[in-house]
Amino acid sequence: MSDVYPVPEAFAAQANVTAADYERDYAESVRDPDAFWGRIAQRLEWSRPPTRIRDVSFDREDFRIRWFADGELNASVNCLDRHLATRGDKTALIWEPDDPAAEPKHVSYRELHARVCKLANALRSLGVKKGDRVTIYLPMIVEAAVAMLACARVGAIHSVVFGGFAPNSIADRVADCGSKLIITADEGLRGGRKVPLKANVDAALKMPGTQSVETVLVVRHTGAAVDMQMPRDRWYDAVADGQPGECEPERMNAEDPLFILYTSGSTGKPKGVLHTTGGYLLYAAYTHEAVFDLREDDIYWCTADVGWVTGHSYIVYGPLANGATSLVFEGVPNYPDYSRFWNVVDRHKVTIFYTAPTAIRALMREGAEPVKKTSRASLRLLGSVGEPINPEAWRWYHEVVGDGRCPVVDTWWQTETGGILISPLPGAVDLKPGSATLPFFGVQPALVDAEGKLLEGAAEGNLVILDSWPGQMRTVHGDHQRFIDTYFKTYPGMYFTGDGCRRDEDGYYWITGRVDDVINVSGHRIGTAEVESALVSHPKVAEAAVVGFPHDIKGQGIYAYVTLVAGEVESDELLKELVAHVRKEIGPIASPDFLQWAPGLPKTRSGKIMRRILRKIAENAPDQLGDTSTLADPSVVESLVKNRRDA
C-alpha cells in the first residue's frame, strides 16, 4: 500500500551521492570500516592526523568505543579557521529575529572567528580550562553558536540547556555536570513573549548542588534590566569585546569530550549524553553534507533549537565544519502568523529546510492557505526529524510545502547517535512516505525479537545497531555503568536503540515508535505510529497519540487521544467515524477501545509526544506520571486527566 517517490532525475544528475555511489560506498563502509573512515577522516583538519581509526568492542567484558584515538584536532578550528582563506567573507550564520520587523543579521566566517576567539580569550581569563564544564542557557541568537565554539576552542565541555527550561531543570543539569560557568542572556524572546533567562539562572543557582558555578556571563539581548550579583555576574560584552580577535586553540585528542547534552526525556529522566571531538565532528559534518546534498551556495535552515542535539549537529557543528551558510531562527512557526516559516524561507532564499513532524502537523492543522500565499521557489530539499512522520503529514510536506518538487529526507537518529543513522540520501534513494529508508554509510541496523534473535528479511522487531559509527556517544556523564546497562545489556554485543521498527521487502526501515510504547492486543504487537498515522489520515484529524491500557480480555486495549484540525467540532458521530476509519485502514485488531478528544497533547519541550504520561492517564493512575520536568505545558495534562474516558 505504500507509494514510492523516485529520485527526481534533475536532482540525481547533480547530487553529491548517486545511487551507484551509495551502493558501492556503503558496501565498502561495512566491509572495511578502517579504510572507509580513514579516508573520510581526511575531510577534517587535524593538527595530528590519526593513524588508528576504529577501536571498538561492544562486549561487556572488554567494552570500548574509540575512534581516531591518536588523532588531534580542535573543533572550532575545523568550523572557523579552516574556512578563512577561501570563505572568509561567506556568511556563516544568518540570524532571523523573533520579530519579523527587526533586522536580520549576517555573520561572515571571518567575523564569527573573531567573535569566538574573543569569547574564548575571555573564558580563559576567567579561569576556564580544558575539561571544565560550561553551561549555555541562551535563546536562539548568534552568541549561542559563539559560546559553543568558544568552549570548543579552549577545550571546555559545553552543556547547552534549552532556553525554555525552568530553574529546576537548569539546576539539575548544572549539578549533574558540575559547571564552573554559565553563559546566559538578560532575556529571550519567543513568539513576542519575553523569557526571563537571567532570573531563571538566579533562581537555579539558589538550589542545592549548584555551588560549582563561579561565574555567570550575561549577554545583553533585549536590554532588560536584570539583577547583577557582583562579582559572580559579568556582562558578556564587558569581558569579551576588549579581548584579542585571535586565540590559540587547545590541542584536543579525538577522544577528548566536546560536549554533554541531556536527552529530551520522552521516556524518563534525561541522560547526560557525552560526545567526543573527532568522531562526533566528522560524523556530523559528513552526514550533513551527504544527507542534505549540500552545495557551496545553499542557504540551509534547520528549525531546531540549539538546546537539542539536532541544533548541535545540524545548526552548528555539521554546517560550519562544511563551510555552509546556516540560518539561526529565534522565533516560532506561528508568530506573527502561520506563514512565518515560509516568509523566512522567501526572505533569505532558503534552499534546504529541516524541521520536525510536530511542527509540520501543527501547520497542517491550519490548512494550505498560509503556505500557498508564499513563494518557496528557492527550496530544493526538505527534511524531518524527531518522531515518526505520519505518511499523511509527509505528503502534505512534500506537496503543499515543497510543491511536489523537493525530496523529503526523513532522518532517524538520537541524541546518543550524534548524527543521522537512517535516512534517504536524496540523490540516491527512492522515497516512501513514513519510512526513514536505508542506513547511512557505516551503519549496520538490525532487527531482533524479544529474545535477541536476529530477524532476517521483511520483519518487525526491536531496532539495534550491530557495530559502532564515529558519532556514537561514549558515556553517560558521571555514570558509565548506566551507559552500558541502558544500551548494551538488553541485547549483548549490540547497541539497543529503544525503538521498534519494521523492515519491508525492499529493506526499508519504518520506525514504529518506542519499544516501551508497543501495544500488545490479544498477542498482536501494534506500533503506536501505525495507529496514529491511520487517525491522522482522516481529514478532520490534525494529530493523534495512542497508548495501551490493561484490558481484561485482550491483555491490552488501545486508547487514543485525538486533536482535531482547526475549526472541526468534536462529536459522538465523529468519534464513531474515527474508530471505523482505523478499522478500515489497519483492521479490527487496531480499532481503538476508547477515544478521547485532546485539544493539546503532552509533549517534551522539543515537541515529542510523551506517551508514557498518556499511558498513566489511560490507566487512571495520574499520581504516577513520573518525571514531568521536561513537559512543555503541564496544564495539558490536567485537562486530559479531567476529561479521561472511563475505561
Q: Which one, 29 or 417, has the nearer CB to ligand ATP?
A: 417
CB neighbourhood size of 599 (10 A): 11
Q: Which is nearer to ligand ATP, 254 or 363 (CB)?
A: 363
Distance CA 154, CA 209 (A): 25
Instruction: Report the distance separating Cα 580 and Cα 592, nearest Å.
Output: 9
Q: Which of 29, 76, 169, 264 binds ligand ATP (CB under 6 A)?
A: 264
In the complex, least distance from residue 428 CB atom to ligand ATP, rounded to whole angstroms: 18
Hey, which residues between 158 and 187 contact ligand ATP (CB under 6 A)? none
- The least CB distance from residue 511 to ligand ATP, in Å, is 4
Closer to ligand ATP at the Cβ: 219 or 443? 443
Q: How far is the CB of 414 from ligand ATP (least distance, A)?
A: 4
Q: Please tell me whether residue 500 binds ligand ATP under the rule CB under 6 A.
A: no
Q: Smallest distance from the beta carbon of 225 to ligand ATP, in angstroms? A: 35
Residue 604 CB neighbour total at 10 angstroms = 21
Binding residues for CoA: 190-193, 310, 334, 522, 583
Chosen residue from 108, 169, 179, 267 binding ligand ATP by CB under 6 A? 267
CB of 402 to ligand ATP, least distance (A): 17
In the complex, minimum distance from the CB of residue 410 to ligand ATP, in angstroms, rounded to a whole number: 5
Residue closer to ligand ATP, measured from CB, 213 or 601: 601
Nearer to ligand ATP, 68 or 491 (CB): 491
Cα–Cα dist 627/268, whole Å:
6
Task: Give the Cα separation of 260 and 248 in Å (integer).
Answer: 23
Q: Which residues pair with 72 in a beta bridge?
A: 48, 253
Which one, 119 or 385, has the nearer CB to ligand ATP? 385
Q: Which residue ranges are tagged as binding site? A: 190-193, 310, 334, 386-388, 410-415, 499, 514, 522, 525, 536, 538, 541, 583
* Binding annotation for ATP: 386-388, 410-415, 499, 514, 525
**506, β-bridge pairs:** none
Binding range to ligand ATP, per CB under 6 A, among 144-152, 222-230, 379-387, 563-571: 379-387
- Tell me how far, at minimum, the Cβ of 409 lies from ligand ATP, in Å: 9
* Residue 74 binds ligand ATP, judged by CB under 6 A: no
| Three-state SS at 390 | coil
Fill in the per-residue mask, 606 to 625: x = in contact with ligand ATP (CB under 6 A), - = not in contact.
x-x-----------------
- In which residue are the cell numbers 538566579 written? 202
**Cβ pair 216, 182 in contact under 8 A:** yes
| Binding piece for ligand ATP, criterion CB under 6 A, among 45-53, 246-254, 264-272, 446-454 | 264-272
Is residue 266 at the binding interface for ligand ATP, with CB under 6 A as the rule?
Answer: yes
Q: Which stretch binds ligand ATP (CB under 6 A): 70-78, 101-109, 180-188, 382-390?
A: 382-390
Q: How far is the CB of 283 from ligand ATP (least distance, A)?
A: 15
Residue from 265, 391, 470, 527 that binds ligand ATP (CB under 6 A)? 265
Give the x-and-dash track for 385-424 against ligand ATP (CB under 6 A): xxxx---------------------xxxxxx---------
Determine contact, residues 392/365, Cβ cutoff 8 Å.
no
Written as nine digits, the cell of 622 is 495520574
Can you list the positions of beta strands (E) in 52-187?
Answer: 54-57, 64-67, 72-73, 91-96, 105-108, 133-137, 157-160, 181-185
Closest distance of CB 531 from ligand ATP, Å: 15
Q: How far is the CB of 483 from ligand ATP (least distance, A)?
A: 13
Count of residues interacting with ligand ATP (CB under 6 A): 24
Total residue length of the chain: 647
In angstroms, rounded to a whole number, what is the distance separating the alpha carbons of residues 5 and 382?
14
**CA-based nearest residue to 75, from 255, 302, 219:** 255
CB of 262 to ligand ATP, least distance (A): 8
322 binds ligand ATP per the rule CB under 6 A:
no
Distance CA 99, CA 111 (A): 24
Amino acid at position 521, single letter: V
240 contact partners, CB below 8 Å, separation of at least 6: 115, 118, 119, 121, 122, 217
Would you state the cell numbers that stand for residue 206, as one nine-digit string?
A: 539558589
- Classify 492 as helix, strand or coil: coil
Between 91 and 512, whose beta carbon lies closer to ligand ATP? Answer: 512
Least distance CB 577 / ligand ATP (angstroms) = 28
Site string for ligand ATP, 506-545 (x = CB under 6 A): -----x--x-------------------------------
Quick one: DSSP state of residue 82? Answer: H
The residue range among 29-37, 99-107, 453-461, 492-500 that interacts with ligand ATP, by the rule CB under 6 A, is: 492-500
| 149 and 249 Cβ atoms separated by less than 8 Å | no
Could you say which residues in the range 422-451 bind ligand ATP, by CB under 6 A? Answer: 436
Which of 109, 314 has the CB closer to ligand ATP?
A: 314
Stretches 334-342, 380-388, 517-525, 583-591: which one binds ligand ATP (CB under 6 A)?
Answer: 380-388
Question: What are 485-494's contacts with CB under 8 Å, separation 24+?
Answer: 486/271, 487/416, 488/58, 488/60, 488/63, 489/60, 490/452, 491/448, 491/452, 491/462, 491/464, 492/59, 492/60, 492/452, 493/58, 493/59, 494/58, 494/446, 494/448, 494/452, 494/464, 494/465, 494/466
Residue number with CB closer to ligand ATP (264 or 351): 264
Q: How many CB atoms lie within 10 A of CB 367?
A: 15
| Least distance (Å) between residue 41 CB and ligand ATP | 25
| Among 76, 108, 263, 351, interactor with ligand ATP by CB under 6 A | 263
User: For 510-556, what is the HEC assignment?
Assistant: EEEEEHHHCEEECCEEECHHHHHHHHHCCCCEEEEEEEEEEECCCEE
Distance CA 408, CA 426 (A): 8
**270 makes contact with ligand ATP (CB under 6 A):** yes
Q: Are the C-beta atoms of residues 94 and 104 closer than 8 Å to each other? A: yes
- Cβ proximity to ligand ATP, 498 vs 592, nearer residue: 498
Label residues 264-280 b or e (16+ Cβ within 10 Å = b).
Answer: bbbbeebbbbbbbbbbb
Q: How far is the CB of 116 from ligand ATP (least distance, A)?
A: 26
Query: Do residues 301 and 352 touch, judged by C-beta distance below 8 A?
Result: yes
In the complex, which residues of this chain contact ligand ATP (CB under 6 A)? Answer: 263-267, 270, 385-388, 410-415, 436, 497-499, 511, 514, 606, 608
